[in-house]
């Protein structure tokens, strides 16, 4: 019988943070399926115990939110390490598997823009690499549509000390004073989005009619506990943990660490009431846009939209043009493309299944439209964003 491989898992499981528990679950399920000789030992500070002592055996590997002390101790003991913490000061020293937070920011921007919003802003944490990447992705996507984006950063410690909380509230309210409504806000963490929702409602701002808000993490405690329920991006932390464990397994077997961090894609964008808006002055166009969004994954044509709003086609097309929209058919295609991107990145479904779920009917038709709109194929897009 082979000796057990003792793996220190550096993840805080005491707090109800979805991102931590999902990473651990991914690591755990990989071990159960592919590495039955692993013994996973949650340990927030494993550096002291990497070498064996008189009482305890040492660790054979470390995975999780790796600190600089952990990395140095592991290097000294010549055991493999895999990091999943974007802010880790040890990142230059150890291989990492990280969620592509820039892609999450791009997804948030595309979602808000598809709702007709032409003013966007991002909210992130100061000195937080994940926030910076997220808001960079938001900015990149918005600029491709010639839409301006402002950024606002707040302190990590705003909820821990009373005076910091008051400073934070004043800071955010001053930022809100300078908004031009309607506006779409993308926050790099759900807890920040929920705080912002509360502040907007306190000021009498309507969500989502005046302010559409989307978070990041899809933590149900925040998203479903918010009023209105909050849209968010499921970051796919389970996959992050699973891929990290796979990499650790390769390193334990003598494999070489990757030169760059491995990026895993966000899983999906979960739309809820906080972004259920179409920022169009005309109610008829707004009704048409909502109907398109709700049915774009089905067999849908321009005639269906016209019938739903009770308006003749020529008049509705003119209304779309007057209020700065694309044609009705172009809006259907744009929302199908948005849905297709999410399915390509967030699922492993076959291209034929993606085409059916996105309303294209056939894979051939989806490939034609996708190439015409984006200059690439669905398969190439998936490969590019799921490296």
Q: Which residues of the chain have pLDDT under 70?
A: 1, 156-159, 279-281, 323-325, 385-387
Cα gap 192→172, rounded to integer Å:
11
DSSP structural state of residue 196: H
Smallest Cα–Cα separation from 287: which of 310, 271, 270, 269? 310
Confidence (pLDDT) at 325: 62
| Tens digits of residue pLDDT in 315-372 | 988 888 876 567 888 888 888 888 888 788 777 889 999 999 989 989 999 999 988 8
Indicate where the chain has its CATH 3.40.50.2300 domain(s).
5-99+237-266, 101-235+270-275
Confidence (pLDDT) at 322: 78
DSSP structural state of residue 48: G
Smallest Cα–Cα separation from 94: which of 79, 113, 110, 112? 79
Confidence (pLDDT) at 76: 94
Smallest Cα–Cα separation from 115: which of 147, 67, 74, 80? 147
Confidence (pLDDT) at 385: 64
Which residues are within 8 A (CB) of 94 and not within 5 positions of it... i.e. 6 or more apart?
66, 71, 74, 81, 82, 83, 88, 257
Question: How many residues are there in the chain?
Answer: 387
Token digits of residue 140: 């990149």
Smallest Cα–Cα separation from 305: which of 278, 333, 332? 332
Q: Can you identify the CATH homologous superfamily of domain 5-99+237-266?
A: Response regulator (3.40.50.2300)
Cα gap 43→315, rounded to integer Å:
65
Cα gap 27→13, rounded to integer Å:
13
Which residues are within 8 A (CB) of 28 and not within 5 positions of it... i.e. 6 or more apart?
40, 241
Cα gap 346→267, rounded to integer Å:
4
Hey, which CATH number is domain 101-235+270-275, 3.30.420.40, 3.20.20.370, 3.40.50.2300, 3.40.50.970?
3.40.50.2300
Confidence (pLDDT) at 37: 94
What dotted CATH number matches 283-385? 1.10.10.60
Confidence (pLDDT) at 281: 61
Confidence (pLDDT) at 387: 52
User: Hey, which bits of the chain come out as E strands?
Assistant: 5-10, 38-42, 61-64, 81-83, 97-99, 120-125, 149-154, 183-187, 211-216, 231-234, 262-264, 268-270
Token digits of residue 94: 């150890």
CB 67 within 8 A of CB 15: no
Indicate where the chain has its CATH 1.10.10.60 domain(s).
283-385
CB 122 within 8 A of CB 213: no
Confidence (pLDDT) at 280: 62
Smallest Cα–Cα separation from 188: which of 266, 245, 252, 240? 266
Return the half-sphere exposure (C-beta side, CA atoms, 13 A cut-off) of residue 33: 10
Check the CA dihedral 152-153-154-156 and report its sign: positive
Confidence (pLDDT) at 323: 66
Cis-peptide, bond into residue 228, ω within 30° of zero: yes
Confidence (pLDDT) at 294: 82
């Amino acid at each position: 019988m082979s000796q057990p491989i003792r793996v220190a898992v550096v993840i805080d499981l005491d707090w109800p943070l979805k991102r931590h528990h999902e990473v651990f679950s991914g690591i755990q399920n990989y071990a159960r399926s592919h590495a039955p000789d692993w013994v996973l030992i949650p340990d927030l500070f494993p550096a002291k115990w990497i070498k064996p002592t008189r009482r305890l055996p040492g660790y054979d590997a470390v995975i999780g939110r790796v600190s600089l002390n952990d990395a140095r101790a592991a290097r000294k003991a010549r055991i493999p390490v895999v990091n999943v913490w974007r802010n880790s000061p040890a990142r230059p020293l150890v291989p990492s598997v990280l969620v592509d937070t820039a892609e999450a920011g791009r997804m948030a921007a595309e979602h808000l823009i598809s709702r007709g919003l032409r003013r966007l802003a991002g909210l992130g944490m100061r000195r937080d690499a994940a926030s910076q990447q997220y808001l960079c992705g938001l900015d990149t996507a918005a600029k491709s549509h010639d839409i301006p984006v402002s950024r606002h950063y707040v302190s990590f410690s705003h909820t821990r000390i009373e005076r910091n909380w008051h400073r934070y509230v004043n800071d955010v309210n001053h930022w809100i004073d300078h908004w031009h409504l309607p506006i779409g806000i993308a926050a790099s963490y759900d807890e920040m989005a929920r705080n912002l929702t509360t502040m907007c409602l306190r000021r009498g701002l309507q969500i989502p009619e005046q302010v559409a808000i989307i978070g990041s993490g899809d933590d149900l405690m925040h998203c479903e506990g918010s009023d209105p329920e909050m849209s968010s991006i499921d970051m796919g932390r389970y996959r992050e943990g699973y891929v990290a464990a796979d990499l650790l397994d390769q390193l334990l077997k003598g494999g070489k660490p990757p030169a760059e961090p491995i990026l895993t894609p966000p899983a999906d964008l979960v739309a809820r009431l906080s972004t259920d808006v179409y920022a169009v002055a005309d109610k008829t166009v707004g009704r048409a846009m909502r109907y398109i969004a709700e049915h774009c994954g089905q067999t849908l044509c321009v005639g269906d939209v016209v019938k739903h709003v009770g308006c003749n086609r020529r008049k509705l097309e003119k209304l779309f043009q007057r209020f700065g929209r694309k044609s009705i058919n172009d809006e259907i295609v744009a929302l199908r493309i948005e849905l297709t991107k999410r399915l390509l990145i967030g699922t492993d479904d076959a291209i034929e299944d993606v085409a059916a779920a996105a309303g294209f009917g056939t894979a051939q038709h989806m490939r034609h439209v996708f190439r015409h709109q984006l200059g690439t194929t669905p398969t190439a897009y998936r490969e590019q964003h799921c490296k």
